[in-house]
Chain A
Amino acid sequence: MKKQTFSILLVEDNFDHAELVKRTLENFQVENDLFHVDNGEAALDFLYRRGIYKNHIVAPKPNLILLDLRLPKIDGLEVLREIKKEEKFLDIPVVILTSSDAEQDLIKAYCYHANSYLTKPVDFLKFSNMMKDFGNYWLSWNKSPDWNHSGKKFF
Chain B
Amino acid sequence: MCSITQELASLQKVYKKILWIDLMVFSLTFIVLVVEILKAVEILEGSPKTLWGAIIFIVIILLLFIAFFLIYKSKKNRDVFQTERIRCFTQFALSRLSKMALWTNQEGQFVYVNHSACDILGYSQEELLSRKIFDIEDIFPVSSWEEHWQKLKSSGNLIVESSYRTKQGKIFPVEIHETYIEFEGQEYNCTFVEDITKRRESEEILRKNERFLSDIFNSIQDGISILGLDLTVLRVNSIMEKWYSSNLPLVGRKCHTCYHASDRICDPCPSVRCLSSGKPESEIVRGIPGATAVEWIELYSYPMKNPKTGEITGVLEFVRDITHRKKAEMALEASENTFRTLFNNMSEGVALHEVIMDAEGKPIDYRFIDVNPAYQRHTGIFSSNVIGRLGTEVYGTEKAAYLDVFSKVAMTGIPYVFDTYFPPLKRHFHVSVVCHGENRFATVFEDITERKQKERELQEKNAELERFTYTVSHDLRSPLITIKGFLGIMEQDLLSGKRDQVLLDMKRISDAADKMENLLRDLLELSRIGRIVSKPVKISSEKLFQDAIELLSGLIKTKEIHIQLHPGLPFVYGDSMRLLQVIQNLLENAIKYMGQEKKPFIEIGIIEEYSEKIFWIKDNGIGIDPKYHENIFGLFNKLDARTEGTGIGLALARRIIEVHGGRIWLESEGLGKGSTFFFTLPCSES
Partner of B488, one of A15, A98, A125: A125
Q: Hey, what's the 0/1 contact readout for B461-494 against A, CB within 8 Å counting as 1?
A: 0000000001101110110111011111100100
Once A38-B641, A72-B637, A72-B638 are accepted as A-B contacts, the answer to whether A127 and B481 lie under 8 Å apart by CB is yes
Max chain A Cβ within 10 angstroms of own Cβ: one of B474, B492, B625: B474
Q: A residues within 8 A CB of B480?
A: 122
Query: CB distance A20 to B481 under 8 Å?
Result: yes
A72 to B628, CA, bound (A): 9
Q: Which residues on the B side are within 8 Å of A20 (C-beta)?
A: 481-482, 485-486, 489
B642 and A16 contact, CB distance less than 8 A: no
**Closest CB in chain B relative to A24 CB, distance in Å:** 8
* B347-397 CB contacts (< 8 Å) to partner A: none
Q: Known contacts being A20-B489, A124-B487, A125-B488, is A14 close to B470, with CB within 8 Å?
A: no
Name the residue in B478, B512, B640 with the highest tally of chain A Cβ atoms < 10 Å from its Cβ: B478
Give B639-659 interface residues, CB cut-off 8 Å to A.
Answer: 639-642
CA distance A102 to B475 in the complex (A): 13
Asked if A16 and B639 make an inter-chain contact with CB atoms under 8 angstroms apart, the answer reads: no
Residues of A within 8 A of B511 (CB): 16
Contact assessment for A124 and B478 in the assembled complex, using a CB-CB cutoff below 8 Å = no
Q: State the main secondary structure of chain B at its contact with A.
A: helix
Q: How many residues of B contact A (CB 8 A)?
A: 29
Instruction: State whether B642 touches A38 (Cβ < 8 A).
Output: yes
Closest to A42 in B: B641
Q: Is A120 part of the binding interface, using a Cβ–Cβ cutoff of 8 Å?
A: yes
Q: Are A124 and B637 in contact (CB under 8 A)?
A: no
Interface centre among A70, A71, A72, A120 (most CB of B within 10 A): A72
Q: Does A124 contact B485, Cβ atoms closer than 8 Å?
A: yes
Contact of B484 among A19, A38, A124 (CB under 8 A): A124
Q: Which residue of A lies closest to B638 (CB)?
A: A72
Q: Is the CB of B482 within 8 A of A39?
A: no
Closest B residue to A14 by beta carbon equals B478
Q: How far is the CB of B638 from chain A (nearest CB, A)?
A: 5
Q: List the B side residues contacting A71 at CB < 8 Å.
A: 641
Q: Report B605-642 CB contacts with A as 1/0, cut-off 8 Å.
A: 00000000000000000000100100100000111111
Pairwise interchain contact B489-A23, C-beta atoms closer than 8 A: yes
Contact with B along A79-104 (1 / 0, CB 8 A): 00000000000000000001110100
Complex-state Cα separation, A127 to B485, whole angstroms: 8
A residues near B (Cβ < 8 Å) are: 13-17, 19-20, 23, 27, 38-39, 70-73, 98-100, 102, 120-125, 127-128
B interface list, Cβ under 8 A from A: 470-471, 473-475, 477-478, 480-482, 484-489, 492, 508, 511-512, 625, 628, 631, 637-642
Q: 8 A-B residue contacts at CB 8 Å? A: A17-B485, A38-B641, A72-B638, A72-B641, A102-B474, A122-B477, A122-B481, A127-B481
- Additional A-B contacts beyond A20-B486, A73-B625, A99-B474 (4; CB < 8 A): A17-B481, A122-B480, A124-B484, A127-B481
